[in-house]
Structure 1
Amino acid sequence: MILEGTVLRGRDFEPVEGRVVVEDGTIMEIEEASVESTDVILPAFVNAHTHIGDSIAKEAGAGLSLDDLVAPPDGLKHRLLRQASAEEKIAAMRRSLEYMQAGGQAAFLEFREGGVDGVDAIHDALDGLDIEGVVLGRETEAAMEAADGFGASGARDADFDYLRNATRGAAKLFGIHAGERDSADINPALDLDPDFLVHMVHPKPLHLERVEDKGIPIVVCPRSNLVTNVGVPPLRDLLDRTTVALGTDNVMLNSPSMFREMEFANKLTDATAKEVLRMATVNGAEIAELNCGLVEPGRDAKLLVLDGDTDNLAGARDLVRAVVRRAGHADVKRVVL
């Protein structure tokens, strides 16, 4: 397979006119050449934090606090999940996954409620789709064993030492929410030596030092933090110290669009467009231990092709900024997964 257009190549997304040569699902070569195509070729996105299960309850709970919305075991999300049938949840999740795939997402890291049944449900929802789910079970060791790891709600909710050790023993991923509503649960989360933290809206200097010393990646979800009124994560402080990736969080609160998440992250903070595009691609891939997220030889050919001649993108002088700040689903021409 050969794709022609302007290629956003490598970790710096250098715009190169030419071709991407793909063989057996691997990028073999990027050829610089004059081509007729106005397409823009970039790595497909990796959505580094999702809760797909609450696709049954989009825009529910307006005005509720963070705890009332999503805190286990009786936040609104959990009550609605208990009330819905397995068939309803699977169908709703599949529709969200189809939307994510059509919007250029190659993979996502899911914190999956519902124990083993929840893990089985999202696997059912993924059946036949090309988007890759890195699923982290919740609540029980059995859910972790049935999944790709464990996704902890937060250190204030339970003692996760045993589950952290069990996950480490299984050589799987362990992620945990921290610093979302305040800073009180950050040190206990860091004490667990997780593979990554989610949110970190309220880190103090000591927490930032510990994150840097331990080299723990962080996933931020700015739109979710705005909806729940907890603030905006200090992206500059985080980016200066560790790997930072981007996620869309609960489908109940936000559309699972990486285009929208990138725009918010770039316009609300002083993170550069290149940094934000890395957050949406290779940084999430590295957390998930996937060989995608960049257009360079040897990487899996998980690619997104945008039509650079749409009414929205035509005339863009800086393609990276255009992708991050203004591109959307309507500009997607092809998703190669």
Structure 2
Amino acid sequence: MIIEGTIVRGREFEPVEGRVVVENGEIATVEEDSVESDDIVCPAFVNAHTHIGDSIAKEAGEGLSLEELVAPPDGLKHRLLREADQSELVEAMAHSLSYMEQSGTGAFVEFREGGVDGIRAIRAALADSDLESVVLGRETVDAMEIADGFGASGANDGEFGDERRATRRAGKLFGIHAGEVDSSDINAALDLDPDFLVHMVHAEELHMERVADSEIPVAVCPRSNLVTGVGMPPVEELARRTTVALGTDNVFLNSPSMFREMAFTAKLFDVSARDVLRMATVNGAELAGLDCGLVEEGRPARLLVLDGDSDNLAGARNAIRAIVRRAGTSDVKQVVSPDRDDPRR
């Protein structure tokens, strides 16, 4: 497979004209050359924080507080998940996963409710998907054992020491929500030495110093935080101290579109478009221990190809800003996966 256009190349995300040659699902070469294509080639997105099970209840719960919406065990989402038929849940998740692929996402990190049954449900939903998934179980250590790790709700909801020790023994990921509603759970979350934190809306200077010292990455979800009214994460300050990745959070609150998340972040915070694109690709990959998120030789070919001559993108003078601030699902020409011979069109 040969893909030509403006290529967002390497860790510096340098836009160069040329071609990407893919062989056996791997990027064989990235060649700088004059080409006729207007396409823009960049890494497929990595959504660093999702709750895909919420797909059964999109736009539910208007006017409810964050606690009423998502707090375990009896927040609205947890009640709806308990009431849902398994086949209904799997079908709803499959729709969201398909949309994520269509909108340029190549991999995602999921906090999956429902214990062992919840893990089995999302595995079933992923059966026909080319997405790379990191699925973290919740609620029980048994769920973690058949998943890729454990995703804790927050240190105020429990101690999670047993789960952290179990993930460490198993060599699996441990992520935890922290500082979403207030700062009261951040130190306790940091004491668990997690592999990554989610939200950190109310992080204070002491917390950010601890994050920097421990080199713990953070997944931020600004659109979700806006919808739930908890405030905005200190993205600029966090980015100066650690790796920051972007996630879309609960599907019933927001579409799992990384295009929307990037544009919102780029326009709300004082961070460059290049840094936002890193948050949406390689930073999420590194947070989750995945080998994707960059267009460079030897990497798996998880690529996004945009139609640079679309009505929306034609005339764009800056490829990085066009991807981050302007592009959308309608501009997607191909999503290339290493797991298939032909790209998704």
For the criterion TM > 0.5, the same-fold answer is: yes
1:131 maps to 2:131: yes
Separation in 2, partners of 1:92, 1:128: 14
Unaligned runs of 5+ in 2: 338-345
Aligned ranges 1:150-299 → 2 under 5 Å: 150-299=150-299
**Structure 2 equivalent of residue 65 of structure 1:** 65
Residue of structure 1 in register with 2:340 after alignment? none
Aligned-residue offset at 1:219: 0.1
Shift of 1:287: 1.2
Offset of 1:79 from its aligned partner?
0.6
Q: State how far apart, in whole Å, the 2-side matches of 1:323 and 1:94 are.
A: 26
State the AA in 2 paired with 1:161.
G
Q: Give SS of 2:230's match.
A: coil
Identity %, equivalent residues = 71
For 1:199-244, what per-residue CA distance to the aligned partner results, in whole angstroms no more than 9, with x for missing partners? Answer: 0001111001000000000000000000000111111100000000
Deviation at 1:25, TM superposition (A): 1.0
Which secondary structure state, in structure 1, belongs to the residue aligned with residue 118 of structure 2? helix
Instruction: Give 1:28 deviation, angstroms.
Output: 1.4
What secondary structure does 2:35 align onto?
Answer: coil
| Per-residue CA distance 1:81-140 (angstroms, 9 max, x = gap) | 111100110000000000001111111000000000000000000002101111000000
Mapped to 1, the partners of 2:54 and 2:18 lie a distance apart of: 42
Partner of 2:33: 33
Q: Which residue of 2 aligns with 1:140?
A: 140
User: Unpaired segments of 5 or more residues in structure 1?
Assistant: none
Counterpart residue number, 1:3: 3
Query: 2:165 corresponds to which letter in structure 1?
Result: N
* C-alpha distance in structure 2 between counterparts of 1:86 and 1:277, whole Å: 36
Within 2, Cα distance between the matches of 1:311 and 1:223?
26
The letter for the 1-side match of 2:125 is A
2:37 pairs with 1:45? no
Which residue does the alignment assign to 1:115? 115
Q: CA deviation at 1:13?
A: 1.3
Counterpart CA distance in 2 for 1:277 and 1:145 is 33
Amino acid at match of 1:39: D
Quote how far apart the aligned CAs of 1:62 are. 0.7
Aligned with 2:241: secondary structure?
A: coil
Q: How many residues align?
A: 337
The alignment's TM-score, normalised by the length of structure 1, stands at 0.99
How far is the alpha carbon of 1:23 from its aligned partner?
1.0
Q: Aligned partners of 1:206 and 1:6: how far apart in 2?
A: 42
CA RMSD in angstroms, aligned pairs only: 0.6
Greater displacement, 171-180 / 21-30: 21-30
Shift in Å, 1:292: 0.6
DSSP-derived class of the 2:157 partner: coil
CA distance in 1, matches of 2:308, 2:28: 24
Aligned residue identity for 1:243: T
Matched residue, 1:313: 313
Please give the alpha-carbon distance, in whole angstroms, between the structure 2 residues aligned to 1:296 and 1:163.
Answer: 36
SS of corresponding position for 1:62: coil
Residue identity matched to 1:55: S
